[in-house]
Chains A and B, each alone.
Chain A
Amino acid sequence: MSVILIFMAGIAVIITWWMAQQRLTSKPWLEVGRAGDVPDGSSSAPATEKIGLYVFLAVVGALFSLLISAYFMRMDTADWWSVPIPNLLWVNTAALAASSVALHWTKAETRENRGEATRVALLAALATAVLFLIGQVLAWRELAAAGYLLTNNPANSFFYMITGLHGLHIIGGLAVLSRTTWKAWNGAEPSGLRLSVELCAIYWHFMLLVWLILFALFAGWANDFIDICRQLLT
């Protein structure tokens, strides 16, 4: 359970940092009146939707941390043989990274109010993300054809389950991204798309990060990392 505990510690740090700014030691019964009662006076407060997305990403982060925790705990048993990493996964990683970059580019274009470029960039992001999903399915088929079936070994089970859940999250994101793209191609002004593009970009970067961690996990690099940590501790 160490991975989820590390994740929760991170969340706890963020919450503590936020709470530290909320004057939790003030004595509210002494503070009657209005002045000075909105401590956060900055005008650059993030949009509600963005806060909502960050909270949601915390939930998704907890989900994948738990899966990784379970992976490590199950891995200790004797019947574990790691899955070979199909080379296709490198291509998929590149596709997802390209998608993430494309969304970053879209964000820049909406800021500059360039309609045509926004539309193209959105389409590029959408296409590469779909490519990633297709690639993931092909990778599954490749593994299955090579005899690495779901129930043969817990490593296989974890591989299919975790990549599947990650794929479902990408599909969910695609639904939102398609909507934004459709709007862009049907005459929406780039300025009006700014927020949704930004939300998509944040989500995409996060899912890319999750994927990179998962990739490292399946490739076994994470184990080396854990071993190093263990050696440092002992």
Chain B
Amino acid sequence: MVEIQSGIGTAIPPAETEDMELYHPKSWWTKYVFSQDAKIIAIQYSLTAIAIGLVALVLSWLMRLQLAFPGAFTFIDAERYYQFITMHGMIMVIYLLTALFLGGFGNYLIPLMIGARDMVFPYANMLSYWVYLLAVLVLAASFFAPGGPTGAGWTLYPPQAVLSGTPGGQDWGIILMLSSLILFIIGFTMGGLNYVVTVLQARTRGMTLMRMPLTIWGIFTATVMALLAFPALFVAAVMMLFDRVLGTSFFMPALVEMGTLLPHQGGSPLLFQHLFWFFGHPEVYIVALPAFGIVSDLISTHARKNIFGYRMMVWAIVIIGGLSFIVWAHHMYVSGMNPAFGFFFATTTLIIAVPTAIKVYNWVLTLWRGDIHLTLPMLFALAFIVTFVNGGLTGLFLGNVVVDVPLSDTMFVVAHFHMVMGIAPIMVIFGAIYHWYPKITGRMLNETMGQIHFWITFLGAYAIFFPMHYLGLMGVPRRYHEMGETIFNPPSAHMLNIFITVMALVVGAAQIVFLFNLAWSLRKGKPAGGNPWRATTLEWQTPQTPPVHGNWGKELPVVYRWAYDYSVPGAAEDFIPQNQPAPDRLSRGALA
């Protein structure tokens, strides 16, 4: 390992790495369970994330059933409902999306796409997974704890989160939730260090930053952001644990709960919100940037065309990452903070729309004059663009401070963030799984099942969340266990709720097809070969499929070109792998 790393900085390192200091598994246990191989860790991360994500999916069904048929399911009382929404939100945002994009795709793709043998700190990488698993188990344990999980909403706003009027507030729920978050952050930091330093130090010869696929750019930038943003959640969680367990007053003002004056004094609930959103907003982009990166590669590969405006795409990723640290208070326009902040945060928030829009234009311009293969990854990429554009545009409503006033805390917000950071990134996850499954397993996923899965998921999800915006516009607040009778809502609004619930059940059920496909194709899928999509990036050029331990055999690949040499004029094939030497080095312009 050391030779590879020290070699990167020097001008022309030796391509052969003899006596690699790679860790070598000695038994079945160290090969598949306590593995230090990033590819195995990636699969462990992914399967754990998907497993806990299925719990969140079932919770969403239960919530939707309650909203459409209030009272019909007696076991979903108000307490349970709030526990369901809280766990659904937290699992989806942190334990599924963050873990799957960075722990799953990051671990699998970073070493392969940059031509490394493994992550640079394999032991810490392994620990990262096991701490993550522990965090998931602690979270899951709260379902069985006395009082059940916390029902404070995924934002965990104090004082409500630690009081008895909220499920789990005075029981174990909130303590387990905060502990689990602290564990997650510790685990993530170990993994995140790996992803960042591997990209910095372990790129193979010729892999300059501007030759990296956008997938790596997205994951790399998101990881840097996550490393810097998660400490805010860590601090907030530690302080709230102090308030809850030790009785301090960081976030707890003097308050009278059910007629009793509590011993707290002077704390600031807004302080928590600032800390939470200082993490929370970058978190949106921690999920979005890997999706941006991956979808760029999916579109380029399956449209057989280079990604349009690669440089602009890279700059946009970096600019979005930086800007996302100065927009956090747009979640707090109606929180009671100094209203003058609204001018600043509305402006920064809407500025982000420009680089984001450029990315969207470049995706669709990549399709323009392409050779579009409507494969499953491409279909999911198209679905991503539709849902992301839709959700991104409604973000312009909520980011524009005064427009947010009537819409905040309504179903409009729920619809917006599900579309933009729920459905859109999950479309990318599905596309990515259909794209890379052949590399991971050596077999293609079944096309028919994939088509069924795609159409139901895409159209169903759109049918769920598009009309939901209008519920919010009518004034239906979010986090209502039942709307009940209102003066201002037409009775037909409830029809909309029933429709949304039916669609949610259908879309959820379609995921069974997907899971079945994953298992079925493992044995019965069509053999894929090494490079079924005829893609240029390095992971498709491994000597074996699936790649073996060490990835590259005796010699590391050498990179001669960028990741997007599709349909190059004059070339025999419509793709040129990154590690294919140029027949004539100077054929297409100066080197400098």
Contact = CB atoms under 8 A, between A and B. Distances in A.
Chains A and B directly touch (beta carbon < 8 Å): yes
Interface of A: 1, 4-5, 8, 11-12, 15, 19, 22-45, 47-48, 51-52, 55-56, 58-59, 62-63, 66-67, 70, 73-74, 77-80, 150-151, 154, 157-158, 161, 165
Contacts of A154: 248-250, 266-267
B410 interface: no
Contacts of A62: 227-228, 231-232
21 contacts: A1-B278, A12-B322, A23-B209, A24-B311, A24-B314, A30-B588, A31-B591, A33-B561, A35-B591, A43-B9, A52-B193, A55-B197, A59-B227, A62-B227, A66-B275, A70-B239, A70-B275, A77-B268, A80-B266, A150-B242, A150-B247
Contacts of A12: 322
B344 to A, nearest CB: 12
Interface stretch (B48-56, B97-105, B198-206, B370-378): B198-206
B274 A59 contact: no
Interface stretch (B139-147, B288-296, B401-409, B579-587): B579-587
B234 A63 contact: yes
Interface residues of B, number: 73
B589 interface: yes
Contacts of A32: 560-561, 582, 585, 587-588
Contacts of A67: 235
B238 A74 contact: no
Interface in B1-32: 2, 5-6, 8-12
A27 B246 contact: no
A71 to B, nearest CB: 10
B237 to A, nearest CB: 12
A35 B591 CA distance: 8
A149 B237 CA distance: 21
A38 B558 CA distance: 12
Q: Which residue among A25, A56, A70, A78 has the maximum number of chain B CB atoms within 10 Å of its CB?
A: A70
A33 B585 CA distance: 5
B228 A161 contact: no
B12 A38 contact: yes
Nearest to B329: A1
A34 B558 CA distance: 8
A74 B274 CA distance: 12
Contact of B208 (A1, A22, A35, A59): A22
Interface string B249-291: 1100000000000010111100100110010000000000000
8 shortest interchain CB distances as A-B pairs = A45-B9, A79-B266, A28-B562, A33-B585, A30-B589, A157-B248, A63-B231, A32-B582
A165 B238 contact: yes
B235 A23 contact: no
A161 B242 contact: yes
A101 B326 CA distance: 38
Interface string B129-152: 000000000000000000000000
Given A24-B210, A59-B227, A70 B306 contact: no
Contact of A19 (B271, B318, B592): B318
Interface in B323-337: 325-326
A161 B586 CA distance: 62
B565 interface: yes
A30 B234 contact: no
B585 A52 contact: no
Contacts of B211: 28, 37
